[in-house]
Chain A
Amino acid sequence: MNGVLRFCVCGVGVRAPGVTNWPGAQSVLRAETGYRFEPMVKPNPDMLPAAERRRSSESVRLAIEVAQQAVSAAGVDPARLASVFAASDSDGRIIHDICEALAQQERHVSPTAFHNSVHNAPAGYWSIATGCHAASTSLSAYDLSFAAGLIEAATQVVADERDVLLVACDLPLPPPLHALRPIDQPFAAAFVLVPAPGRPDMPAWELTIAPPHASQADTSDAPECLRNNPAARSWPLLVSLARGPAGAALVRFAYFDNQTLVLKRTS
């Protein structure tokens, strides 16, 4: 293996303001209709047992919503699926509540808030919801978290020849954190990646990392109001997948130090 990571995409999920799911996102992604902002439909994924849904945070429910969409579309058994969860920050509301509690004289941290504060909370709830014992990795690379997640998921597909669920999910942080990390709207997307060659109807991709300044990141950016959400950096891939063979054959993401993560469509 020479640093070219080959995989196919066989299921997609997406949820954001004005975008409820993958089928519903098609016309916007194909630019057949303009994007129209609407407050996000609150995720309420039925795969998550009611008790866990009550205990979980908004970021958990949003991540699981898109994961559920993607595995349903892919027709794969989520109980056997390895997963990668990419998010820049852990749940901001939970972090805020904990930091606020810790600033009081009596420092009372809620036990539930504490276990929900871990960066891998969405992964934990997902494994409980699906009864999945497979490996799961939760990671961050700040604004480059989606690119880092794609690399982690693709290396798992290639190195271990297994199907991998990739979820990218970021939510606005509440004030006063928001002023220091302005993310204005929630965004989540999920992809089921499988080893190439997949079925003929599955788009196949080659992932490489291009050296500094050798390539430019795509400009087919998400709508303006979603653009400062790190997970929305997956937008150009969603656009290409929605447009099918007519879509862009090259999808490029900004990576560290002016490097570019390049996805080349091969079928």
Chain B
Amino acid sequence: MQPLILSALATANPVGLGLPALAEALVNGRSGLRYNDFERADLDTWIGRVDGLEDEPVATALAEFDCRNNRLAQLGLHQDGFVSAVADARRRYGEHRVAVLIGTSTSGIFETELGYQARDPVDGSLPPTLRLRFSHNILSVAEFVRRTLGLRGPTVAVSTACSSSAKVFASAERYIRSGLCDAAVVGGVDSLCLTTLHGFSSLQLTSSQPCRPFDAARSGISIGEAAGFALLEKSGAGDVMLMGYGESSDAYHMSSPHPEGEGALLAMREALQRAQLAPVDLDYINLHGTATPANDRTEERAVLRLFGDHAQTAPCSSTKGWTGHTLGAAGMIEAIVCALCLRLGLIPGTLNTVTVDPEFRARIVLTPEQRPLRHALSNSFGFGGSNCSLVFGRAS
């Protein structure tokens, strides 16, 4: 495919606000995880939380959209000069020619959860202040981004669990290639809520320690929250480009990955095919690497199959130890990690991991390495067996 330039990036995530904070944390091994202090803090687990959301409502003009998820989106949008970069694109292309595609798994469900704690004791009704359309509904965050940026191009919220904000790159590329728009703002925003904390806990997938991807003693995920955005254009200034994407379905189980990593393998293969690259062209793989026993085992299996079972794989790592698993935002946050790594010539390690599972033969990197990188692949896999892989490269 014709590569697309990532002409602007922005993020707010548990390690801090903006790209410099994320780059510094990756280099120095500074984690954004903390012991659970969210809401009633009734689960023994670690989380990646973004500070300050409680005190920073959304802009007055968009007050009806106020909820934790949109506050996080707003905080992310206002980092890294993103708003002015988009304003520039809007002037160049026209407001109707810039699309908005945002991935989220739970959008503003947290406010509904709070509403259920405050139901009318007589008739059971929810508080009248709760407005599902502007908080809980999946579109809410995409509409909020669209309105904040003053865009009027095609707009959609993609919600495929933990692959959501990887898949927006794929849809955006198709929108641009088919001529529906000239540029696209893609993003991922997911915020802490009780549904995911207690839901993953009920599946015994949350760890009581900071997550340790690919460790022999890994024991589950640390849930995080984050917002990330990218501006995609056919040409323009930018040192990183989207070169390929691959999407697949496991067709296996709603909440367990395919044991042979079948869907993961198909997604990586398609991404390389679109990028016209071979596995050996990859200088780094940012793994989905959630730190659940099953995910890491099957993902490692898929990577080995991609490279041929006996071949040495590209350096692989999971950056979930920095941010936690930011669910619907993970694809975008890890796309930004890949962009930073390509820019800095950095292969991040796998934070918190001490001993790689002896069963694994892929090259899992534990401590950061510095070297020029040309191509990086990022994996995102979600419930329902929804897989998406992205290939990024340095723009020449």
Contact, CB under 8 Å: B266 / A133: yes
A-B pairs with lowest CB-CB distance, top 5: A124-B384, A114-B199, A135-B247, A119-B159, A140-B138
Query: Residue on A with the closest CB to B252?
Result: A128
Q: Which one of A123, A128, A141, A158 lies within 8 Å of B160 (CB-CB)?
A: A123
Stretch in A36-44, A63-71, A99-107, A245-253 touching the partner: A99-107
Contact, CB under 8 Å: B249 / A115: no
Please tell me if A241 contacts chain B, counting CB pairs below 8 Å: no
Interface string of A186-217 (1 = CB under 8 A from B): 00000000000000000000000101000000
Please tell me if B364 contacts chain A, counting CB pairs below 8 Å: no
A-B contact pairs, 24 of them (CB 8 A): A89-B137, A99-B115, A99-B116, A100-B116, A107-B194, A107-B198, A108-B202, A109-B201, A118-B383, A119-B105, A119-B138, A119-B160, A123-B249, A123-B386, A128-B253, A130-B251, A132-B249, A133-B262, A136-B160, A137-B171, A138-B386, A148-B156, A155-B178, A158-B178
Q: How far is the CA of A121 from the CA of B167 in the complex (A)?
A: 16
Interface string of B285-327 (1 = CB under 8 A from A): 0000000000000000000000000000000000000000000
Name B residues whose Cβ lies closer than 8 Å to a Cβ of A: 42, 96, 105, 109, 112-113, 115-117, 119, 124-126, 130-133, 137-139, 142-143, 146, 152, 154-161, 167, 170-171, 173-175, 177-181, 194-195, 198-203, 247-255, 262-263, 266, 382-386
Query: Residue on A with the closest CB to B130?
Result: A180
**Neighbouring A residues of B266 by C-beta, 8 Å:** 133
**Neighbouring B residues of A2 by C-beta, 8 Å:** 179
Contact, CB under 8 Å: B203 / A111: yes
Residue among B126, B180, B181, B194 with max Cβ neighbours from chain A (10 Å)? B180
Query: Residue on B with the closest CB to A100?
Result: B116
Q: Number of A-B pairs whose CB atoms are under 8 Å?
A: 221
Q: Which one of B126, B139, B174, B251 lies within 8 Å of A141 (CB-CB)?
A: B139
Contact, CB under 8 Å: B194 / A88: no
Please tell me if A134 contacts chain B, counting CB pairs below 8 Å: yes
Q: How far is the CA of A168 from the CA of B254 in the complex (A)?
A: 20
Q: Which one of B117, B173, B382 lies within 8 Å of A120 (CB-CB)?
A: B382
Q: How far is the CA of A102 from the CA of B117 in the complex (A)?
A: 8
Query: Residue on A with the closest CB to B95?
Result: A257
In the complex, what's the smallest C-beta–C-beta distance from A128 to chain B, in angstroms? Answer: 6
Q: How far is the CA of A108 from the CA of B201 in the complex (A)?
A: 10
Q: For chain A residues 60-115, which have a beta carbon within 8 Å of chain B? A: 88-90, 95, 98-103, 107-111, 114-115
Query: With A89-B138, A127-B385 known to touch, is A176 a contact of B132 (CB < 8 Å)?
Result: no
